[in-house]
Amino acid sequence: LGGIVEVFSNIRWRVSIVCQYCGFDPVLYIKSPEMAAEKVKNFMLDRKNSANFLLSTKQYERLPRRKIQKPLYDQDDKSANT
């Protein structure tokens, strides 16, 4: 009986730590950052197409986003210039 209670409390904990606004799962991120990023991307696309989101008064579009900077040059360009 104690094992069953432990399993259910672990499941409740896992469900509660996932972000309601962007779908980010920190446990999945520790295991695989790529899968966590894909899950957030899918969550955002689903939310964007959801009627519930369109009727919401919350400002979800203002969630912070990290911009990825592109390198100024490729490795091939560097070797060609020297």
Predicted local confidence at residue 45, as pLDDT: 87
Nearest partner of 38 among 52, 23, 49, 27, judged by Cα: 23
For 55-77, what is the mean pLDDT?
Answer: 65
For 2-30, what is the mean pLDDT?
Answer: 85
For 16-31, what is the mean pLDDT?
Answer: 88
Between CA 9 and CA 1 the distance in angstroms is 13
Average pLDDT value for the chain: 78
Predicted local confidence at residue 32, as pLDDT: 93
Better pLDDT: 82 or 1: 1
pLDDT digits (tens, 9 = 90+) for 48-57: 787 777 666 6
User: What residue type is assigned to position 25 of the chain?
Assistant: D
Better pLDDT: 70 or 38: 38
Please check whether residue 3 is in contact with residue 9, taking contact to mean a CB–CB distance below 8 angstroms.
Answer: no
